[in-house]
Structure 1
């Protein structure tokens, strides 16, 4: 029996207009009433998730959230951090220098400064808008080597970012977890940090194993948790590589794909 459901947000839980459908909301509530733990696992910062957690009523200290691709795993009410795997200012500086050489923009999430970028750009503003946070323009050389950096992202027009990705040195993939969450976002994190390790840690914390876990997603940053889960579900709108990893493919995020899975595998409808 499944006891934990981990949901990606953008392209999975949320429709294309960034809302949660009534059917999906009802299915999640019904699963929670049966004692199933439902968590949001997103590349977003917690600030960009709060309004959806509120909408779903997932705000108690028995509720958890996985933010920044599970670089942080926290209790929601107390904000107690139960897992943190992050980067440093030195990492951010090195990655920013590489981004400059590759001709693409970069931004990062700093514990002290919030969302930071060396040069204001469309995609940093997009990040700020969807998460309802502000942006600080600062040269990454101003960061201390030991500053807490949660993650760094290469960001740009899809064709520019694709060209940059093609030139990334192989050793970068040995130093960091690198996942693409959108055609214009490449996320670089602590090598121990990904949604799979985050969900696995939470499952262990709850006394569960992988066979009791459902994970649903649509993009490359969801791949680790789909591989981990007893039931890894790709959305109908997922990328082909994510679909290839999945045990099950559901309808798209605009067709109540999340609700359909919960209804079939948990509510037995």
Structure 2
């Protein structure tokens, strides 16, 4: 019996219209009625997760969220951190300088300042919009203290520009940080010990749930570790090939109730 289901959002829980279908909501409610923990696992901050948490009635005591790809594991009701693994201002400055050398935009998330960047772009505005948060314009080199907490850094630009920059990344960045694409236009950079897989296992251990009792669904590169770590890793049919290759099961697309079908098959035994 699976006791914890971790769900990516964009491309997985959400369809292409950014909606959670009635079938998926009903399936998740049936799983919860059996005592299964439903955990949203996203690169978004907690503020950006509030609408789907409310829609799925998951803002209660004993409900948890993997936010910022597992950098922060928080209580869905109180926002209190169960686990925190983040960067520092000195990391942001180092990565900002690299972004300038590579010719790509750079932004970051701060626990105290929210979404921060030296200059906005369409993708910064997209991130602010989907998470319903403000953009704060700062100079990372002068306005950020070396010891200030930074949750994650992102290189952002159109795919053709971003991919060209990724091809030029120096070796040290992958030695010092965890680097992955969460969307064609987002390259995320976190603490080297942070990923959704590590977050899933940490939360399961915290809840005294065995790894074999966990299930995870996702579609993109930042879901790879979570799908690999889960007792049952489920990839969406619309997912990237790398994720589908290591999944235990490939379900239908996000536009055809893939999450609901996987839960019906493996949890509800329909």
Shared fold, TM over 0.5: yes
Shift of 1:17: 1.1
The answer to whether structure 1 residue 208 and structure 2 residue 209 are counterparts is yes
How far does the alpha carbon of each residue in 1:106-157 deviate from its partner, in whole angstroms, 9 at most, with x for none? 1000112110111111110010111111101111111000111000000001
Q: Which residue of 2 aligns with 1:256?
A: 257
TM-score, length of structure 2 as denominator length: 0.98
The answer to whether structure 1 residue 86 and structure 2 residue 86 are counterparts is yes
Count of residue pairs the alignment pairs up: 269
Q: Which residue of 2 aligns with 1:26?
A: 26
Alignment of 1:115-154 (within 5 A): 115-141=115-141, 142-154=143-155
Rounded to whole Å, the distance in 2 between the matches of 1:114 and 1:131 is 11
Rounded to whole Å, the distance in 2 between the matches of 1:81 and 1:46 is 11
Gaps of 5+ in 2: none
Rounded to whole Å, the distance in 1 between the matches of 2:188 and 2:86 is 12
Q: Which residue of 2 aligns with 1:44?
A: 44
Rounded to whole Å, the distance in 1 between the matches of 2:76 and 2:3 is 19
Q: Say which is worse superposed, 72-81 or 48-57, in terms of deviation.
A: 72-81
Q: Secondary structure at the match of 1:107?
A: strand
Q: Secondary structure at the match of 2:237?
A: coil
TM-score, length of structure 1 as denominator length: 0.99
Q: Which residue of 1 aligns with 2:185?
A: 184
Equivalent pair of 2:7/2:41 in contact (CA under 8 Å): yes
Q: Which residue of 1 aligns with 2:239?
A: 238
Gaps of 5+ in 1: none
How far does the alpha carbon of each residue in 1:1-21 deviate from its partner, in whole angstroms, 9 at most, with x for none? 111100000110011111100
Q: Secondary structure at the match of 1:12?
A: helix
Equivalent pair of 2:46/2:79 in contact (CA under 8 Å): no
Alignment of 1:92-103 (within 5 A): 92-103=92-103
Runs of 4+ residues over 2 Å off in structure 1: none
Q: Secondary structure at the match of 1:74?
A: strand
Equivalent pair of 2:214/2:231 in contact (CA under 8 Å): yes
RMSD (Å) for aligned C-alpha atoms: 0.7
